[in-house]
Structure 1
C-alpha cells in the first residue's frame, strides 16, 4: 500500500496540478469581484463555483487514482452513454437562453451533458485510433470516425449549440494527422466543417445565433443591439491597460454593462481589472498546462495514453483560444467558456475529469518525469 502511495505522490505531476489550481483561483477571484456590483453585493456565483471547485478537486483526485485503461476498455459504452444523454436532453431538457442543453435533477441540481460528451468523444477517439489499422484501411476508419462525430454533433446542433458542435468536429480534425491519415483527409474534414456550418445556418441556427455571426465582422455597427456584447468586451479589455483597474473596480462588470461576465466574457473582466499583466499571467498558466501535456506526448510515455494526452491538450487549447478570441473580437460569440476559469459546474467538473485521466496516464507510465 505504502509503495503505491509513494509512487502516486512522486509521479503525480504537481506542476500541472498547480497550473490548473491557479486558473481555478483566477476564476474564483473574478467571480467574487463580479459579485461586488455597484447595485449591491451578490456572491451567488462565487459561492456555487467555490463548491464546484472543491468538489472538482476531489473528482480529479478520484480519476487520478483510477486506472485510465478502465475508460479505454469501455470506450464504446461511454460513447453510447454520451449519445443517450444528448437524446435525453432533447426530450427532457430545460431551455436556457434559447438552447435546450440542461437536464434538471430535482429543484436545485442541473448539468449540461454536452460538456461530458466532449470527454466521451475524446476517450472514444483515443481508443479507436490507437487500435485501428488506419494506414491499411484509411477510408473505412475515416468514415467510421466521421459518422460517430457527425452523429453526436448532429444531436448537439438540435439543441441548438453551435459552439459545442464545432468543438466536437475540431477534436476529430486534430486527431486526423496524428492517427496516420494522409493530408487529403484533413481537408475533407475542413470541407465537412463548412458543410456543418452551412446546414446549421439553413436549418438549426436561431435568429440570435445568426446575428452573433453577422455582427462579429463589425460589432461597432450594432453596438447597442446584437453586437453589444462584443463591443462591451472589447471596451473592458482595452480599459485595463497594463496593470488593470483593480479587483472590484472594473466598470464594465461592476455596472453590469458586460453581459455574461461570469461565463463567456470572464476574460474581459480579468483584462479590465488585472490588466495586460493579469491576462498574461492567466495565459501563462494555460501555457504551462500545454507544455506539461505535450512534454509527455513527445516522450511517448504511454502508447495507449498518447492520444488522450494529445487530445486533451488540444481541446483545452481550442476552448481557450475561441473564448479569448470572442472576448477581443477576433471570433464570433458561440458560447464557449474559458476552461477552469468561467462559471459553471458541468464544464469545470468535465475539465477536472480530463485532468484526472491525464494524471492517471502520467502516474502509470513507465517513464519518470
Structure 2
C-alpha cells in the first residue's frame, strides 16, 4: 500500500472514498458470481465482463482523477451537444433495442448507452451554470437555461423509451435546483408542472406495460403472475434473507431464476436474500460513507464549480441507489435503474467510476489549495 501511495497517479487520493468504492464493487462481484452459480456459463461470462469493465472504469477513474476538473468546464457544452447528437442517433436504425428500449449502440463485443454520457455532461453544465449564476439564479433567463439543458436529454430518454434514465436526469436537475433556489414559488411551479406532465404522459406517452407497472406498484396483487411478478419475487427474496442470509449461492429465489434481471435491476434482492440484514446493513453503510465523503469533498473544493460538481455527482448516485433499492422492496415502480458499482453493466460502471475520478480531482485540488493539509 505504501508503494501504491508513492506512485504519482495515486498521490493525494481520497483513500476513504477509493476503498469504499472498492468494497461496493466487491459486493457486486460477489452477487454476480453467486447468480452465475445457478444460471450457467452465460452468467459466468457476465462475471468476467464485469471484471473487465471494472478494470476499464478504474483506468478511467485514475485518468480523470489526474486531469484538472476545470477542463470539463471548458468542454462542457461541446460534450453536452455530442451526447444529444448520440441520443438522437440512437433512435435511428443505428441504435439497437434491448429489453424494449432503443437506447443502445451495439459495438460488437459490448453495447454503449449514450444516456450515460449525457448524465456526465448534464452534471458538468449544471455545475457550470450554478457557479456562475448562483446570485442571479432566480432571473428568468437563468431559470429557462437550467430547465432547457435538463429537458432536452430528458425528452430524448423518454422517447426511447427509457423512463428510468429520464427519472435520473429529471431528479438530478430538480433536487439540485431545489437546493440552490431561494424562491418557493419556483418550486411550486415546478411541482405543478410535474403533475401536469405526468397526467399528459399517462394519456399520450406511457405505453401499456408502463401503466401496468405503475398500477402494479400501487397494488402488486392486481397481477401477481404478470406485471406484478418481478416485484413480488423480489420482495419474497428480501424477506427470505432474514438476519444472516442463506449464504452466497444458496438463495432459492436467485438460484432458481425466480428473480428477473438478478444481476442488474434486482441485484439488491440477491444481496438481501443471500447475505441477509447484516449484508444489507453493510451495503447501505458503504453507500452512506460514500455520500459522507462527497459532502466533505464539496466542503474542501477550492471553488464553486468543484463544490457543485461534487454535490451533483452525489445527487446522481443517490437517485440511482434510492430508485434501485426502492424497486427491490416494492416502494417504487420498476424502471430498470441499476445499483451504482454493484449491478452488472458496461457503460454504466465505467461512467460511475469516471464520476468518482472527477470528484477525486476536486479533492486533490482542494488539498493543493490548502497547503500542508493532508486529510479532512
Alignment of 1:1-369 (within 5 A): 9-37=10-38, 42-91=43-92, 92-105=94-107, 107-132=108-133, 134-135=135-136, 138-365=139-366, 366-367=369-370, 368=373, 369=375
| TM-score using structure 2 length | 0.92
Partners of 1:143 and 1:5 in 2: CA distance: 47
Q: CA deviation at 1:305?
A: 0.4
Q: Which runs of 5+ in 2 are unaligned?
A: none
2-structure distance, mates of 1:341, 1:31: 9
Q: How far apart, CA to CA, are the structure 2 residues paired with 1:353 and 1:40?
A: 30
CA distance in 1, matches of 2:185, 2:311: 21
**Are the aligned partners of 2:301 and 2:362 in contact in 1 as well (CA < 8 Å)?**
no
Aligned partners of 2:23 and 2:286 also within 8 Å? yes
Cα-Cα RMSD: 1.9
Aligned-pair CA distance for 1:201: 2.2
The worse-fitting range, judged by mean Cα deviation, of 271-280 and 163-172 is 163-172
SS at 1:304 equivalent = helix
Over 3 Å counting, the alpha-carbon distance change for 1:40 and 1:220 in structure 2 is farther
- The alpha-carbon deviation at position 132 of structure 1 amounts to 2.1
In the TM superposition, residue 188 of structure 1 has moved relative to its aligned partner by: 2.3
Q: Secondary structure at the match of 2:50?
A: helix
Residues 232 and 257 in structure 1, CA contact (< 8 A), matched pair in contact too: yes
The 2-side partners of 1:298 and 1:357 are apart by: 15
Closer, same or farther in 2 for the Cα pair 1:193/1:247, shift >3 Å?
A: same
**Once the two structures are superposed, what CA deviation does each residue of 1:179-233 show, in whole Å capped at 9, x if it has no partner?**
3442222232223333333333233322211111110112133111110000000
